[in-house]
Structure 1
């Protein structure tokens, strides 16, 4: 083998080596680039998913807080109106009845004094009912706000509670309208009937309130 052949073989081997190296380098570089691109893609996808998850969590948190605040406000109003009703009954209604009885009994069958006592009592009842109507208006306004955001079960119970509240107010108004004449005529059985109807409505309202609390709790848990 002469020097020329040796040189040719050497060049051939070197070329093959360089070609193989370059091919391997290009392939490896391609793999690295692909790996970098894959990593970048996965990172972007992860960020998208994380961002979407965070957004969903933020939405759920906002929705929960918004609804729970409105429901808390509603139940606080129910408790407030109930306490106010009891307070007015002791502060205004019972004294008005006592005063009417005392005035009527002391009238000694004097028609003018009897009429005066009855008129004064009726005016007291009208003032009490005016306050009750204002409270009922507040309650209806709050209920209307909740109906917009309430789920099906809560909405149903809100409407039943609103109807029962109207019924309670109407029954109270009917009793107060007839109260003076019933007290004068001593129609105890009729007074007892009115009282039974009002107590029945009060029990119904209390049951609805408990059902409503449970339905609200369930609805908030499902957000």
Structure 2
């Protein structure tokens, strides 16, 4: 009887120990599973956050590229338009004496060959009027260049502002010098002594070289600013 009781007690004790151990292991496994599940959730949250941040960076990068592309194209278009106007003005300025002034001189000389004083006087009046009209036209073209120049100042650097100022002074000097020559050539003093025009021509040449130098410097600065976009 005592043996049976001992066996039962031993079995109950062993079962109790087993159940206790089993419950501990089960609780531990459950905790591990819960921890793994929590870690997986945190992992997925990190992945989702990384993907969202990556997509946002890609979006910002794409927008930045488009913005830079727009800025580049806009600047390039304005620079091209400005130089087109400037070259057109310079070409017209340089061709004034060959294409426009020579016919005016020819008409004046033809008028002077007429003996009648009234016709000779009218020829000189017509010449002066043509000269003033040409000077006005040059100033109008210069104004177009200056207006476009002011538009460029809105999108450029302080260095570009300085170069534009220098070019503006050079162009104005050349324009004024051309007008000065035309006015001198319409005076009676010029018909007496054509050599009086020489210092004016030398001054115009100097201003023309200044325009070219300023133009080249401005063009190089524009290239630099386009490459920096």
TM score, norm. by length of structure 2: 0.88
Compute the displacement of 1:111 (Å).
Answer: 4.1
* CA offset digits 1:119-176 (Å, max 9, x no partner): 1111111221122122112111101111111111111111111111111111111111
Q: Supply the distance in 1 between the matched residues of 2:184 and 2:53 (Cα, whole angstroms).
A: 74
Counterpart of 1:155 in structure 2 is 161
Matched, 1:219 2:225: yes
Q: Which runs of 5+ in 2 are unaligned?
A: 1-6
CA pair 65-210 structure 1, distance change in 2 beyond 3 A:
same
Counterpart of 2:109 in structure 1 is 101
Question: After superposition, where does 1:168-179 map in structure 2 within 5 Å?
Answer: 168-179=174-185
Q: Could you tell which deviates more after superposition, 20-29 or 86-95? A: 86-95
Counterpart of 1:25 in structure 2 is 33
Larger C-alpha radius of gyration, 1 or 2? 2
The RMSD of aligned alpha carbons is 1.8
Counterpart of 1:47 in structure 2 is 55
1:187 corresponds to which of 183, 187, 194: 194
Q: Which runs of 5+ in 1 are unaligned?
A: none
Q: Is the Cα contact below 8 Å between 2:184 and 2:197 reproduced in 1?
A: no
Q: Could you tell which deviates more after superposition, 147-156 or 87-96? A: 87-96
Q: Supply the distance in 2 between the matched residues of 1:153 and 1:161 (Cα, whole angstroms).
A: 13
Counterpart of 1:129 in structure 2 is 135
TM score, norm. by length of structure 1: 0.90
Q: Supply the distance in 1 between the matched residues of 2:107 and 2:203 (Cα, whole angstroms).
A: 25
Tell me the number of residue pairs that the alignment of Structure 1 and Structure 2 aligns: 220
